[in-house]
Amino acid sequence: MTAELTIEDLQPGEGKAAKRGSLITAHYRGWLEDGTEFDSSYQQGEAFEVVLSNNRVIQGWILGLLGMQVGGKRRLWVPAELAYGERQIGSKIPAHANLIFEIELLDVKNRDD
């Protein structure tokens, strides 16, 4: 049985919407289900910039951020199948881990801008 991606809008945005292939700038925090934080752009002191495409971010981010607007905050519950699956990522993310992200969308640039 496959778990589903769950999306909770914490704060709606009012700016441009993210779509597949968008270059996004975001702040985020990521946790394991037990509450252990494994990554945070806030702690790194720098927003994360990435293209929403299959070879750049996990599937859960692509599906979870589609339609999200600049200025919005969203929480994603990403099942392992839409995260890293059977792969262990470094020492912080075990194999088969369901992940939780809180993402604040700061900017979106689309190819057709």
Catalytic residues: 28, 38-39, 58, 84, 101
Q: Which of 67, 95, 73, 59 is nearest to 27 (CA)?
A: 73
Report the sign of the C-alpha dihedral through residues 12, 50, 101, 7, in that order.
Answer: positive
Sequence-ordered list of residues with C-beta below 8 angstroms from that of 55, at least 6 positions apart, any chain: none
> If DSSP codes are grouped into helix, strand and coil, which group holds residue 16?
coil
Distance between CA atoms of 79 and 61, rounded to whole angstroms? 11
Distance between CA atoms of 81 and 58, rounded to whole angstroms? 10
